[in-house]
Amino acid sequence: MTNARGTPPPTTPPPPGPSLGALIRSRRAVRRFKPGLVPDADVNEILEAGRWAPSPANRQPTRFIWVKSTGVKRELQQLARESKELSGYWDPIFRPDGSSGLVNDLETPEVIAVIADPSKSLSNVHADNGFEWAAAMAIYAMWLRAYSLGYGAVFVQHWIAEKAKKILNVPLSWTFLGTFTFGHAAEAPTTDRLPLDQLVSIDRYPGRPRP
């Protein structure tokens, strides 16, 4: 069986390799980009990673908007600035001199907006937002794939969502998760993580120490 673009769905997992762990550990959020071509084939390969992400009952609620137009990118750039300014009204970390004051670059890198359709949700007993979880998994899959192809990337959730939906003509009832941007990295950030001892509980929270 092949899909519309002729790519056969994989039926057997690839052999395990040592590289995925190293990839996961060394991926970082890259926010500064150098200009430079990203071939369409690479963008499509990254979109493939999003396509193959899991979703509840395989309902596949996630859609991707590949923003190619410089005009639309410019509109998003203005909105990114406005979104940060609005947040900065309440939280100083988003002001220009704050620790998260950088306005994300929407013009230099490739931009993929990620949206999710709530009608492709399940009717769990609890309020189901699996469609948003699925989209989040697609974002991380694209992030890792972009990094594995040599690109720096960051997911940006910091949007006045309704205005972003209007720019991109997204139905109001859908969730706009944000934008995934990737391109040629102009920085190599070195963030760290809490040690597993502070993250993992055995049996119950906070539980016994991890062996």
Each residue 81-110 as x (binds ligand FMN by CB under 6 A) or -, in order, gives: -----------------------x------
**What span, in angstroms and rounded, lies between the C-alpha atoms of 155 and 113?**
9
Interface pick for ligand FMN out of 155, 174, 180, 182 (rule CB under 6 A): 155
> How many C-beta neighbours within 10 Å does residue 142 have?
26
The region of 7-15, 63-71, 117-125, 148-156 touching ligand FMN under the rule CB under 6 A is 148-156
Nearer to ligand FMN, 27 or 63 (CB): 27
For the CB of residue 194, give the shortest distance to ligand FMN in the complex, in Å.
12
Report the site for ligand FMN in 172-211 (rule: CB under 6 A): 189, 191
Residues 9-38 that bind ligand FMN (CB under 6 A): 28-29, 31
Are 69 and 107 in contact by the 8 Å Cβ rule? The answer is no
CA neighbor of 4 nearest in space, from 31, 43, 44: 44
Using rule CB under 6 A, residue 163 touches ligand FMN:
no
Question: Cα–Cα distance between 109 and 116 in angstroms, integer?
Answer: 22
Name the packing angle between helices 130-148 and 40-51 (round to 10°): 140
Could you write out the DSSP letters of every residue in 18-69? THHHHHHHH--B---EE-----HHHHHHHHHHHHTS--GGG---EEEEEE--
Tell me the per-residue interface mask from 51 to 70 with ligand FMN, x by CB under 6 A, - otherwise: --------------------
67, 114, 154, 185: which one binds ligand FMN (CB under 6 A): 154
Q: Which is nearer to ligand FMN, 81 or 202 (CB)?
A: 81
Tokens read off for 142: 């694209």
Q: Residue 208 CB, nearest distance to ligand FMN (Å)? A: 29
How far apart CA 49 and CA 138 sit, in angstroms, is 7
Chain residues in the site for ligand FMN (CB under 6 A): 28-29, 31, 104, 154-158, 189, 191
